[in-house]
Structure 1
Amino acid sequence: MGCCDAPGLMPIETALETMLSRVSPVQTTLELPLPEALGFVLADDIRSPINVPPFANSAMDGYAVRLAELNLGQPLPICGKSFAGHPFKGDWEAMSCIRIMTGAEVPLGCDAIIIQEQAQVTEQGVLFTVKNVKENQNIRPTGDDICQGDIALAKGTRLSARDIPMIATLGIGQVTVLRKPKVAFFSTGDELKSLGEALEDGQIYDSNRYGVKALIEKFGCEAIDLGIIPDSPDKLKATFEEAQSLADVVITSGGVSVGEADYTKDILEEMGEIGFWKLAIKPGKPFAFGRLPNAWFCGLPGNPVSAFITCYALVQPLLAKLAGHTQWQPEPSIPAVTQSPFKKAPGRTDFQRGIYRIENGQFVVESTGNQSSGAFRSMSLANCFVVLEQERGRVEAGETVQIQLFNSSMY
């Protein structure tokens, strides 16, 4: 019997399905100026009110010509100029060309643009040295990028640095977005100290809050740091009450194991309900999910790597759905050949930290070394997860494994 068969130990795929089936996106919308909308999720489709470009324009610096008048060997006098923002407005005389610059409006009647490198200016006019000029050569037509009425960005898109200038090209200065989910988080444990405080015997610095905060903000949510809460049932319950009044999701690190001072489970059962507790995942088995009266609950393990990985692998998709980010997808699995062994026992899906490279067109991966759930340097060194299947055992060098490259939230 594998350990995944033990009562209460759920496969990670089942856990994700359970979580996502229960959560619905936030409904509150905001009207934001475009420069302030980065990282927010669109509440509605953005349809283009204009054609982009709004007029046919030149893709190159050169000369506007009419093909019927283009006779190689005979120079064409320059009739005028068309620059960006200053189009040619005069009468285009027969048997002549117009000097045109990149982005400038194409004069009426123009069939093609000949680039300046294929032209020679003489006293008699411009002599063109190119053959086989094609109709509409070097001309960007009206609506070449986006046509009026097209959906430029779909509802559920989280606005990136690439999207903001694209929306600006449409002349749209205000967008309707969903408010960012609010996530309150805190660490539990008498052994924890905040940065800047002196350590006493048996104490360590709390690193989990800093990792969780960074991930929450990278996920596009509002982070509310409630600090370190000691192992006191009364103080923990009061903090849960405060947290669930402030946020859509409450995240804790620590206090979800089976120790004598782990009170989180009792408090959650008293205040709300537990969806599940303990997963067939390594590291991170004591991950918990449940419901408080006014917020969802995710309990991360106390070990730093366990907390970080479960926040990335389990909380991230939950928050993406809560945010209405319908375009979010997990990173795909990529086959890679191992260059070092990976220790593993069957029973849990294992997220080991690895360093991948591409050699001769093939992904290869090696371990970052110490895979302990308390050794965070292996996480800092990694650029991918080596995801070893639940029932797989030890992996030797030369075997093929599946890796997941880190997404943008890790950088």
Structure 2
Amino acid sequence: MTSPKPHGTSLDETINGQAQHQGGGDATHEPNHQGRQAHHQARSVAGHAAAVEQLLRPLQSSDRTEVLPLHEALGRGLVSDVRAPISLPPFANSQMDGYAIRSADVPDGGAELRVMPPVPAGASPAALRPGMAAPIMTGAMLPEGADAVVPIERAVPDRFLPHTEQATVTLPTAAPGTFVRAAGSDVRTGETALAAGTFLGPAQLGLLAALGIPEVTVYKAVTVLLVTTGDEVVEPGQELPAGKIYDSNGTLLEAAMKQSGLQVRRAGIATDNPEALRRLLRSEGGGTDLIVTTGGVSKGAYEVVRQAMEDQPVEFLHVGMQPGGPQGIGTFEGRPFLGFPGNPVSCLVSFEMFLRPVLAGLLGTPARRLPIRARLRHPLTSPEHKHQIRRGTLQPDGTVELQGGESSHLMHALAGSNLLVHVPEGVAALAAGAEVEVWML
């Protein structure tokens, strides 16, 4: 990502597209023996997404699938393509309350036709005889021989009459196909109704139900062990001693993960004791698919996560991104591990930039963030060698109002935002009115 994205191509597509082709090189996890890591150039956002994708690809295994009834499948991702077992609609039906006719029976200027018995929804009607019109309700099967429907309000009289053999109605002309829903006009038998990896929201589940499919094979929900670290952090509700802060990361990430369909196991706050952290990860990590920690991944003197991972194949590195540059990635005793930075905005941005889109690409869930193009209400500056993510709100006029500055501790600004603003690497400044890609939160 070395230049602004062209209009119509989303950053999310770029990250996931490049992740499919960058499995080697900087996607390789190097052991962090003795807690030392050779200095190297910052990894790109796309390169780190590729590394996360490589780490989590085993989550696609067949033993992590299950068959669920539709009412339990909301928010899951499809394992395989679903082909339509029937057509939708399964038969030609009326789009309106009106009269089913043979279009050839009604010339320009209209015609008077005899009225057949009515056709309610759910009935299997008799064939339409020449010179006759059948009262038909919305959704009812079109009689054989009929090829158009005239709405009731265009008829004379413009109301349905009790059926008698002498009843007639005057109707205007209608072209073939008028107000008719053709069989298979939505989807035809054998066509792909939903592709593998589709996120199952209400509309997708409704389609499966309309096709008569009662259950579906989906990926199991990902289970995450979430650990907050730091001697300076205390749980909300406790007394706050001098020099301490309340833990917002645990609540912030747990909520983001649960909202995304992940199952979260909280392990409380780990102190700055490497051996105690290792014991916690061993005791609490069983049965989880992924370990995520916050804090302790930078180059300070008390980076407990780095110290706890000294003998593990874990890489600690810097991604060319602001906020969220320091990252950890690898495995802890064979279990996938991601180490996010300790500042709250940084850890949420890390989740949104790496874990959420990678899982969406692999498992079809969570749903991808909606990328849109919007214009800045105010100018901004950005470090040219980094991909900057700013917080903002979409205004009624379609512009973006930035919330707070670029600092990664501004929780109040984050809470007042409904989108993330992306400033790609290579861009040092943008003027008011400049177009940017934003992800709706």
**Contact 1:384–1:403 at 8 Å: present in 2 too?**
no
The 8 Å contact of residues 26 and 179 in structure 1, kept in 2 or not, is answered as no
Gaps of 5+ in 1: 1-5
Structure 1 residue 36 corresponds to structure 2 residue 35: no
Whether 1:387 aligns to 2:427 is no
Residue in 2 that maps onto 1:398: 432
Change (3 A) 1:405 1:175: same
> Does the alignment pair 1:101 with 2:142?
no
Q: Distance in 2 between matches of 1:327 and 1:283?
A: 23
How far 1:61 moved relative to its partner? 0.7
Q: Secondary structure at the match of 2:401?
A: strand
| Residue in structure 2 matching 1:26, options 51, 54, 60 | 60
Tell me the secondary structure at the aligned position of residue 77 of structure 1: strand
Q: Does 2:421 align with 1:378?
A: no
Closer/same/farther in 2, CA of residues 144 and 343 from structure 1, 3 Å limit: closer
CA contact (8 A) 2:378 2:433 kept: no
> How many corresponding residue pairs?
393
Q: Deviations over 1:99-127 (max 9, x none)?
A: 00100011111121111111012885111
Q: How many angstroms apart in 2 are the aligned matches of 1:369 and 1:108?
A: 66
Q: Is the 8 A contact 1:48 1:147 kept in 2?
A: yes
1:206 aligned partner: 247
Shift of 1:81: 0.6
CA-CA distance at 1:8 after TM superposition:
5.2
State the match for 1:127 in structure 2: 170
Q: Is the 8 A contact 1:248 1:294 kept in 2?
A: no
Matching residue within 218, 226, 251 for 1:185: 226
Query: Is the 2:323–2:345 Cα contact (8 Å) retained in structure 1?
Result: yes
Question: Is 1:256–1:262's contact at 8 Å kept on the other side of the alignment?
Answer: yes
Q: Following the alignment from structure 1 to structure 2, what is the Cα–Cα distance between the partners of residues 103 and 237? A: 63
**Aligned match for 1:83, one of 120, 123, 128:** 120
Deviations 1:339-358, CA, capped at 9 Å, x for gaps: 32324343322112223447
2:85–2:211 CA contact under 8 A, matched in 1:
yes
Give the Cα separation in 1 of the matches to 2:104 and 2:154.
Answer: 18
Instruction: Mark the runs of 5 or more structure 2 residues left unpaired by the alignment.
Output: 1-38
Residue number among 316, 320, 323 corresponding to 1:280 in the alignment: 320
Partner of 2:291: 250
TM-score by length of 2: 0.82
1:49 aligns with 2:88: no
Going from structure 1 to structure 2, the CA distance change for 1:111 and 1:340 (only over 3 Å counts) comes to closer
Structure 2 CA distance for partners of 1:319 and 1:227, relative to 1, 3 Å: farther
Counterpart of 2:43?
Answer: 10
Greater shift, 366-375 or 309-318, is seen at 366-375
Residue aligning to 1:64: 100
2:359 counterpart SS class = helix
Task: Quote the Cα distance in structure 1 between the aligned partners of 2:417 and 2:134.
Answer: 58
1:290 Cα shift?
1.6
The corresponding residue for 2:341 is 301
1:302-381 equivalences under 5 Å are: 302-322=342-362, 324-325=363-364, 331-332=370-371, 334=373, 336=375, 338-357=376-395, 359=397, 364-381=399-416
Task: Answer whether contact 1:184 1:246 (CA < 8 A) is retained.
Answer: no
Partner of 1:165: 206
RMSD: 2.5
Return 195-204 or 229-238, whichever deviates more.
195-204
User: Is the partner of 1:291 in helix, strand or coil?
Assistant: strand
What's the CA shift for 1:150? 1.4
Q: Which residue of 1 aligns with 2:30?
A: none
Shift of 1:19: 2.5
User: Quick one: percent identity of the two aligned structures?
Assistant: 30
Letter in 2 for 1:239: L
- When normalised by structure 1's length, the TM-score is 0.87
Deviation at 1:274, TM superposition (A): 1.9
The worse-fitting range, judged by mean Cα deviation, of 255-264 and 159-168 is 255-264
Deviations 1:248-293 (A, max 9, x none): 21111111123332221122232x2123422221111222212223
* Separation in structure 1 between the aligned mates of residue 422 and residue 111 of structure 2, nearest angstrom: 69
State the one-letter code of the partner of 2:364. Answer: H
Shift of 1:218: 3.0
Preserved contact between residue 380 and residue 429 of structure 2 (Cα < 8 Å) = yes
Q: Is the contact made by 1:187 and 1:229 (CA closer than 8 Å) also made in structure 2? A: yes
Q: Secondary structure at the match of 2:112?
A: coil
Report the secondary structure of 2:251's partner residue. Answer: helix
Q: Secondary structure at the match of 2:99?
A: strand
